Chains A and B, each alone.
Chain A
């Protein structure tokens, strides 16, 4: 497997993050873990945005990933973190394969609203489920990693952080390749001109379907990691404001680079944390202004601060 420049940079940054984890205070580790896990969910949103679809219901897969990890530990004796995360992705893939059959028939606002509807249906089901703690949700069972049980508190927090960074790295490399591979580029082609794609002998629907399912798996991983990090899941994960936050972060970062959602999610978490601390009643307003500023001054997202407009051939 040959790595390109972006992949090597991603690897080095991930390594730096892991090392940073050993010296940074617990609150910061926790903030970064949640931000990076959310960034994975946002990657799913971004994958779909590239194909021209905006999902206002990515919380569905975030929630599925989280609840599968939670339920696996509480009810089915699955305590291994990797197994639980994998199961969460698997369940998300199965659900996405079913919903995708319907959703890929729709575009634009219809797709957005329908994706929102499905996540709200899950929210409704969870709220009605007394066994799953209704609106309170339930706690995630202590978990292990390859048979090893990290000590509760700081130890497990640190382990989740490392797992999140490593997952983030793997996903980032895969998405980086995916974006440049046939399906990634042709999904962009679908966004730009579906008729032409069809007349090249390809099925736009099948492409969007594959992309939708892949995005669901990535988002579910983010949900699972969040569950491990917070030790708790609740129906809020599928609520529409949660999905809205993912879209917000996606716009904040832009579609320019696979690193953008990570940067945006970290910026978002800091802005929100400090806004809540210093101006507790107006933090939503601050987020609103942030987004407004980004849309007006950086329409291609925060990533455009990092990249200079490349001319000529795209690498």
Chain B
């Protein structure tokens, strides 16, 4: 198994707040990793550091074996690591179709053309395919502001996938989406991801969703990783149950914790 993303004693402090403490993570190619942790545990901070948005206080980040410390988000995106956002980051005054077309053009070239039209037939056709793949073709001509949360999240993820990344980091893809829609949304996303053969790491608060899709779980607590392993093992871990998941009723085993 080859390691695609590795962090070595990654630290981040915001004044007195320690948002990341000696994070040592190795993600292998093809893995689907879930990240859990209560609010403020440092999950988003981890994604922000790995994608170049935040500068770590100390530590090292390797992507495909090469250091990406100090690289800009766009350089890291170009290198093949894409992300989505806890709050979908779209172009609100554009239509959904235009959002995708901008992403398509960006994926083709880092230097957009000065005179040839952005909305070419080829890009429109490709964008329409993507709309279908993500099941949001009904919102083709809607402004983003008029689109429901779930669809926005999907567009956000679709835009991240357009650049054909090797790795995708999803920050709470199902937040703001009703419980019944969560599985549909994740099925759509995971189908698309599988077709692209992408390594995925996603942050999720809903343990049912986590168990359904991931092969491995990282549990964050107060800037530290307190457990890392197979979902069943991590979710059964006493510390994780005390600090992260709480004592949720589980169907798998009795609950003996105090």
Interchain CB contact (< 8 A) of B159 among A174, A186, A200, A312 = A200
- State whether A312 and B141 are in contact (beta carbons under 8 Å apart), knowing that A185-B118, A200-B77, A202-B112 are contacts in the complex: yes
Whether A314 and B95, one on each chain, are in contact in the complex, defined by CB atoms closer than 8 angstroms, is yes
Q: How far is the CA of A202 from the CA of B73 in the complex (A)?
A: 9
Whether B112 and A181, one on each chain, are in contact in the complex, defined by CB atoms closer than 8 angstroms, is yes
Q: B residues within 8 A CB of A207?
A: 112
- State whether A177 and B89 are in contact (beta carbons under 8 Å apart), knowing that A196-B159, A200-B159, A201-B163 are contacts in the complex: no
Q: A residues within 8 A CB of B105?
A: 182, 185-186
Whether A186 and B102, one on each chain, are in contact in the complex, defined by CB atoms closer than 8 angstroms, is yes
Binding site for A on B (CB under 8 A): 51, 53, 72-74, 77-78, 82-83, 89-95, 97-98, 101-103, 105-107, 109-119, 141, 159-160, 163
Q: Apart from A180-B118, A202-B110, A202-B112, what 12 extra A-B contacts exist at CB < 8 Å?
A: A181-B113, A181-B117, A182-B105, A192-B92, A199-B73, A200-B106, A201-B78, A201-B106, A201-B107, A202-B74, A210-B114, A214-B114
Whether A186 and B112, one on each chain, are in contact in the complex, defined by CB atoms closer than 8 angstroms, is yes
Q: A residues within 8 A CB of B112?
A: 181-183, 186, 202, 207
Q: Is the interface of A mostly helix, strand, loop or mixed?
A: helix
Whether A199 and B74, one on each chain, are in contact in the complex, defined by CB atoms closer than 8 angstroms, is yes
Interchain CB contact (< 8 A) of A182 among B72, B90, B91, B113 = B113
| B144 and chain A: residue at smallest CB distance | A192
Closest-CB distance, A7 to chain B (whole angstroms) = 12
Whether A196 and B90, one on each chain, are in contact in the complex, defined by CB atoms closer than 8 angstroms, is yes
Closest-CB distance, B146 to chain A (whole angstroms) = 12
A313 an interface residue at 8 Å Cβ cutoff?
Answer: yes
7 A–B contacts from the bound complex (CB under 8 Å):
A182-B116, A186-B118, A192-B91, A196-B91, A200-B103, A201-B78, A313-B97
Closest-CB distance, A179 to chain B (whole angstroms) = 10
Closest-CB distance, A98 to chain B (whole angstroms) = 21
Q: How far is the CA of A174 from the CA of B114 in the complex (A)?
A: 9
Whether B118 and A201, one on each chain, are in contact in the complex, defined by CB atoms closer than 8 angstroms, is no
A193 an interface residue at 8 Å Cβ cutoff?
Answer: yes
Q: How far is the CA of A199 from the CA of B83 in the complex (A)?
A: 8
Whether B118 and A184, one on each chain, are in contact in the complex, defined by CB atoms closer than 8 angstroms, is yes
Q: A residues within 8 A CB of B83?
A: 199
Closest-CB distance, B78 to chain A (whole angstroms) = 5
Whether B74 and A196, one on each chain, are in contact in the complex, defined by CB atoms closer than 8 angstroms, is no
The winner among B101, B114, B116, B119 for most chain A CB atoms within 10 A is B114
Closest-CB distance, B200 to chain A (whole angstroms) = 16
- State whether A189 and B74 are in contact (beta carbons under 8 Å apart), knowing that A182-B113, A202-B106, A202-B110 are contacts in the complex: no
Q: How far is the CA of A203 from the CA of B105 in the complex (A)?
A: 13
Q: How far is the CA of A77 from the CA of B134 in the complex (A)?
A: 64
- State whether A180 and B119 are in contact (beta carbons under 8 Å apart), knowing that A196-B89, A196-B91 are contacts in the complex: yes
Q: How far is the CA of A314 from the CA of B118 in the complex (A)?
A: 12
Interchain CB contact (< 8 A) of B115 among A181, A201, A313, A314 = A181
Whether A200 and B119, one on each chain, are in contact in the complex, defined by CB atoms closer than 8 angstroms, is no
Q: How far is the CA of A113 from the CA of B224 in the complex (A)?
A: 44
Q: How far is the CA of A86 from the CA of B108 in the complex (A)?
A: 33
Q: How far is the CA of A197 from the CA of B107 in the complex (A)?
A: 11
Q: How far is the CA of A313 from the CA of B83 in the complex (A)?
A: 28
Q: How far is the CA of A161 from the CA of B163 in the complex (A)?
A: 49
Interchain CB contact (< 8 A) of A193 among B90, B106, B113, B118 = B90
A118 an interface residue at 8 Å Cβ cutoff?
Answer: no
Q: A residues within 8 A CB of B115?
A: 174, 177-178, 181
Q: How far is the CA of A210 from the CA of B113 in the complex (A)?
A: 11
Q: How far is the CA of A188 from the CA of B105 in the complex (A)?
A: 14
Closest-CB distance, B233 to chain A (whole angstroms) = 33
| B101 and chain A: residue at smallest CB distance | A185
Q: B residues within 8 A CB of A198?
A: 72-74, 77
A195 an interface residue at 8 Å Cβ cutoff?
Answer: yes
| B140 and chain A: residue at smallest CB distance | A313
Whether B89 and A199, one on each chain, are in contact in the complex, defined by CB atoms closer than 8 angstroms, is yes
Closest-CB distance, A238 to chain B (whole angstroms) = 28
